[in-house]
Amino acid sequence: MTYTFQKDRGNIDWTQVTGLLNGFGLTDFTPAQTQTAFENSAVNVFVLAGGKVIGCGRALSDGISQAAVYNIAVDEAYHHRGLGKQIIAAILEETAGCNVVLYTHPNTVSWYEEQGFRRMKTGMAMYHPSHIEQLIKMDFI
Ligand SMILES: CC(C)(COP(=O)(O)OP(=O)(O)OC[C@H]1O[C@@H](n2cnc3c(N)ncnc32)[C@H](O)[C@@H]1OP(=O)(O)O)[C@@H](O)C(=O)NCCC(=O)NCCS
């Protein structure tokens, strides 16, 4: 299987990206909201297989010193092929020179540690009130 890594948004099917993210519960976006979120992010990465989006990730960044990673996902049928690691590597390439932060599900903390991320002692967040109950339930906070 050939995988194409794409960093631009040309010809991206936002319904496919939305299906991927919503399917894992990472977002509850409409395709239009997904498109806006990616358009407003400095870094976009998509993985395509057979013309279909099977992986994605994005990062907010000031382009100088700070960046934040969101919405990393790989279609379950394509797990364990190194695609997730390559999405992170592509984002880190685009944010070289920056401190890169993220928060993730407790199940994937060790996966990010494998990619070189370290736990923060003083990281804090002002979560949207509508998300807090779910975040507590999922053991994020
Ligand atoms: C996390 C995710 C992106 C990894 O994608 P992937 O393409 O399967 O990852 P890679 O193939 O690059 O790496 C797999 C390796 O990481 C490790 N790994 C995978 N999932 C892991 C987890 N949840 N915790 C710890 N290590 C994990 C394993 O060692 C695995 O090695 P193996 O293939 O020899 O078993 C994918 O599981 C996913 O999309 N999960 C659902 C969405 C999600 O939770 N995203 C992250 C939160 S934003």
Which residues sit with their C-beta closer than 6 Å to ligand 1? 24, 26, 72-74, 79-85, 104-105, 107-108, 110-111, 114
Domains of the chain: residue spans and CATH: 4-102 (3.40.630.30), 104-141 (no CATH)
Distances (CA, A) of 103 to 24, 78, 124: 15, 23, 10
Determine the number of helices (DSSP H) and then strands (DSSP E) in the chain: 5, 5
124 Cα to the center of ligand 1, angstroms: 25
**Per-residue confidence (pLDDT) for residue 70, from 0 to 100:** 98
**Per-residue confidence (pLDDT) for residue 10, from 0 to 100:** 94
Q: Tell which one of 74, 107, 110 to mutate to probe ligand 1, the residue whose CB is within 8 A of the most ligand atoms.
A: 74
107 Cα to the center of ligand 1, angstroms: 9
Task: Give the predicted TM-score (pTM) of the model.
Answer: 0.95
**Per-residue confidence (pLDDT) for residue 64, from 0 to 100:** 97
Which residues does residue 99 pair with via DSSP β-bridges, in sequence order?
Answer: 66
**Per-residue confidence (pLDDT) for residue 35, from 0 to 100:** 98
- DSSP annotation of 107 reads G
Q: What is the mean pLDDT of each run of 10 residues along the chain (141 residues)?
A: 96 98 96 98 98 98 98 98 98 98 96 97 96 93 93
Counting from 1 in the atom list of ligand 1, the atom nearest the Cα of 88 is 12
Phi, psi of 29, deg, nearest 5: -80, 155
Name the residue with tokens 């979560």. Answer: 127
Distances (CA, A) of 125 to 78, 101, 102: 32, 12, 11
**Per-residue confidence (pLDDT) for residue 127, from 0 to 100:** 96
Helix H or strand E encompassing 45: strand 43-49
What is the residue with the minimal CA distance to atom 4 of ligand 1? 84
**Per-residue confidence (pLDDT) for residue 128, from 0 to 100:** 96
